[in-house]
């Protein structure tokens, strides 16, 4: 339990301040692990655990005899990865309390772990709020971060004690004044999201020339504005977007004070990626916060990271359900064909209408690797990856729609056929949650959980 308690936020029953030495030890261990390229002393690595789980499942399925759906797509989720991301967050943004964006992946085990770690939750709908409250989370740990809310949902949160919510326009203020005047409001401001994968500011955010009027209206309506929020766009790549947004938020804090509001919290939203850009992003944000909202002002800083926490934790395995051979023209003209001269269209049992919805909605480019071919499971080996001079494949989803294509062209050494398996890493963000049942395919696939961190296992009660 030791390792786990060290990472718990002050929301949790065990106070972080009582564990500062353990926290430091854990961070030191984390840095050592990073320097050693991972490796979790005494536990199998993330790759070993995921590889074993994938192998066990796919080797248990015989596509010639299995029942319908036995060969369905499935995920393997390493909750240790979510835990490490939390540690990395604490290391880089110690002043910023994360409120995980549930929309990104409402997986119950992910939420359970994050709840144990003491994060808050950013929810966008009644169902998300219900799910989080259903875990026994204190309503004070939830922000209803949707500037344009459904009336009945506002009444729902009012009766369930969820007070924090965002707004960005005058109509919404009047709605809240009517339905929930005691709400704690965050004024969401517009950002420069031009460097992000998914732009949000076309839809949400008050421009700086409207914020004064909005604060004035909130004051006249007798509402309680407690802070400012922003989102620099999901999958942001320009750290300076955070600097500008923090500066703008500071300006709006001053406007709020002039209107008589005692603003106490800045919400810096999401947009963080899990790759190496995180450290750059966090560095710029940290400095901006220290300049505009220094610790001595006592302003609380929260954030709404989604993708950052889960993207790299989920791997998906998909079955090859059909193959179409595109013969080499020379072979058609009578020459002897070898498989290397042909190319193939392969059809797998998941696609753009399923867990690969991230290609459409989240501008992602999932990369296929070979999990099982020719009777051998080859996860994590060099042979699993693409090669420049291998056999060419295009990879298609199972629906009747022509846009349902995952990969236009990729080359593998392996000759893939029906019953073989592919896997795709980094499939945790905006995948399962936006899958549909189009053409009657399932949108609810198994998740096999593994855990490469002892601390996370302790928190999950797996020890």
Ligand X SMILES: Cc1ncc(COP(=O)(O)O)c(C=O)c1O
Tokens for 160? 């369930």
Pairwise CA distance, residues 383 & 175, whole Å: 58
Q: Which is nearer to ligand X, 270 or 366 (CB)?
A: 270
- In whole angstroms, how close is the CB of 146 to ligand X at the nearest point? 7
Give me the helices (H) in 313-356, please.
329-332
Pairwise CA distance, residues 344 & 324, whole Å: 6
For CA atoms 409, 415, 418, 423, the dihedral sign is: negative
- In whole angstroms, how close is the CB of 270 to ligand X at the nearest point? 2
Q: Which is nearer to ligand X, 49 or 142 (CB)?
A: 142
Q: Which is nearer to ligand X, 61 or 200 (CB)?
A: 200
Pairwise CA distance, residues 111 & 269, whole Å: 18
> For residue 421, which of 379, 367, 450, 359 has the smallest C-alpha distance?
379
Q: Angle between the 79-92 and 20-35 helix axes, to the nearest 10 degrees?
A: 110
Q: Which is nearer to ligand X, 272 or 441 (CB)?
A: 272
Pairwise CA distance, residues 208 & 10, whole Å: 33
Question: Rg (Cα) of the chain, in Å, rounded?
Answer: 24
- In whole angstroms, how close is the CB of 235 to ligand X at the nearest point? 6
- In whole angstroms, how close is the CB of 166 to ligand X at the nearest point? 7
Beta bridge partners of 96: 301
Query: Would you call 318 a catalytic residue per the annotation?
Result: no
Q: What residues line the site for ligand X (CB under 6 A)? A: 101, 104, 122, 145, 200, 231, 234-235, 269-272, 304-308
- In whole angstroms, how close is the CB of 311 to ligand X at the nearest point? 8
Q: Which entry of 104, 198, 400, 433 is annotated as an active-site residue? A: 400
Q: Which is nearer to ligand X, 229 or 407 (CB)?
A: 229
Pairwise CA distance, residues 289 & 227, whole Å: 15
Q: Which residues are catalytic?
A: 400
């Amino acid at each position: 339990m030791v390792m786990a308690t060290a990472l718990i936020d002050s929301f949790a029953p065990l106070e972080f301040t009582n564990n500062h030495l353990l926290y430091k030890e854990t961070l030191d261990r984390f840095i050592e692990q990073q320097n050693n390229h991972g490796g979790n002393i005494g536990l199998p690595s993330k790759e070993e655990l995921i590889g074993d789980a994938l192998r066990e499942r796919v080797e248990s399925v015989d596509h010639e005899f299995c029942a319908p759906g036995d060969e369905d797509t499935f995920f393997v989720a390493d909750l240790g990865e979510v835990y490490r991301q939390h540690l990395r967050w604490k290391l880089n943004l110690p002043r910023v309390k994360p409120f995980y964006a549930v929309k990104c992946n409402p997986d119950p085990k992910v939420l359970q772990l994050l709840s144990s770690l003491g994060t808050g939750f950013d929810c966008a709908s009644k169902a998300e709020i219900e799910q989080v409250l259903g875990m026994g989370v204190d309503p004070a740990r939830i922000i209803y971060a949707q500037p344009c809310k459904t009336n009945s949902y506002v009444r729902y949160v009012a009766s369930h004690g969820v007070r924090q919510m965002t707004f960005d326009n005058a109509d919404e203020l009047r709605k809240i004044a009517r339905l929930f005047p005691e709400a704690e409001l965050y004024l969401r401001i517009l950002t420069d999201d031009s460097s992000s994968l998914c732009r949000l500011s076309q839809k949400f955010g008050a421009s700086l020339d409207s914020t004064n009027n909005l604060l004035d209206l909130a004051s006249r309506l007798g509402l309680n504005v407690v802070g400012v929020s922003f989102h620099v766009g999901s999958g942001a790549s320009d750290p300076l977007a955070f600097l500008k947004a923090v500066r703008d938020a500071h300006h709006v804090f001053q406007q709020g004070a002039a209107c008589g509001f005692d603003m106490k919290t800045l919400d810096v939203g999401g947009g963080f990626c899990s790759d190496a850009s995180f450290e750059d992003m966090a560095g710029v944000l940290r400095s901006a916060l220290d300049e505009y909202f220094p610790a001595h002002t006592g302003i609380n800083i929260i954030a709404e990271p989604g993708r950052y926490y889960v993207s790299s934790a989920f791997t998906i395995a998909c079955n090859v359900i059909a193959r179409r051979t595109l013969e080499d023209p020379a072979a058609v003209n009578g020459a002897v064909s070898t498989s290397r001269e042909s190319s193939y269209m392969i059809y797998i049992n998941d696609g753009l209408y399923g867990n690969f919805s991230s290609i459409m909605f989240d501008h992602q480019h999932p990369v296929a690797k070979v999990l099982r071919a020719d009777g051998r499971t080859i996860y994590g080996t060099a042979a699993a990856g693409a090669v420049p001079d291998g056999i060419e494949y295009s990879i298609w989803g199972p629906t009747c729609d022509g846009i349902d294509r995952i990969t236009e062209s990729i080359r593998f050494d392996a000759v893939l056929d029906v019953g073989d398996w592919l896997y795709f890493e980094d499939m945790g963000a905006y995948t399962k949650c936006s899958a549909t049942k189009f053409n009657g395919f399932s949108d609810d696939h198994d998740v096999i959980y593994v855990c490469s961190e002892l601390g996370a296992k302790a928190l999950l009660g797996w020890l």
